[in-house]
Structure 1
Amino acid sequence: MSWGLIAVLAVGTFALRIAGPVLRARIHLSPNAVRLLGLAATALLVALAVTQTVYAGDGFAGWARVLGVGVAGLLIWRRAPFVVVVVGAAAATALLRVAGIS
């Protein structure tokens, strides 16, 4: 990769990051647009999580991973501490894999 390209990417990144504070007073969005932008960010994160859960490489990741993430979701819904969520999901996935459910 050339140094010129790296410099262009660095300047572009800085420009995008500084544009928010600089343009904040000049651009006004309606409350409906602000709400829709929040929903769009949530939808993007959910789509990323589902994709990473269901797919590994070119194919299906296996039921153990899907059910492990489901256990994590259930523990989060029950307001379990973060450590319990991580250990519970890992344990569920490991037990399913030991049982032969990949």
Structure 2
Amino acid sequence: MNATVVMILALAVGTYAFRLVGPLLHGRVELPDRVRGLLAAGAVVLLVALLATGALTEGGGFAGWARPAGVLVGGVLAWRGVPFVGVVLGAAGATALLRLVGVA
């Protein structure tokens, strides 16, 4: 067994154990309100960072203006309460339209 397979198995076991701890400790560990607030803020920051990375970069460089514009259109549609399918189609359509007219 090579090192890659061993590492994958170790990460799989660690992930399973980490997920198992939640149900096992539910109700036994009480987090302070400050920690709960920090965890919520951390989740928001992580999601925004992932969104920014996915929207603005491609192959280690700037993705062009069409993709961030499409993400912006999708965000506006989601904020307005459009169903998820409409958000995805609107964002993809805006990106495709901008690329069609030459905005990279």
Q: TM-score, normalised by structure 2?
A: 0.86
**After TM superposition, which residue ranges in structure 1, 4 or more long, deviate above 4 angstroms?**
none
Q: Name stretches of at least 5 consecutive residues in structure 2 with no aligned partner.
A: none
- Match of 2:67? 65
Cα RMSD after superposing both structures = 1.7
* Count of aligned pairs between the two proteins: 102
Q: Percent identity?
A: 52
Aligned counterpart, 1:13: 15
* 1:46 paired to 2:52: no
TM-score, with normalisation over the residues of structure 1?
0.87
- Shift of the 61–7 alpha-carbon distance from structure 1 to 2, 3 Å rule, reads closer
Letter in 2 for 1:78: R
Deviates more, 1:25-34 or 1:36-45: 25-34
Flag structure 1 segments of 5+ consecutive residues without an equivalent: none
1:26 Cα deviation (Å)?
3.6
Matched, 1:56 2:58: yes
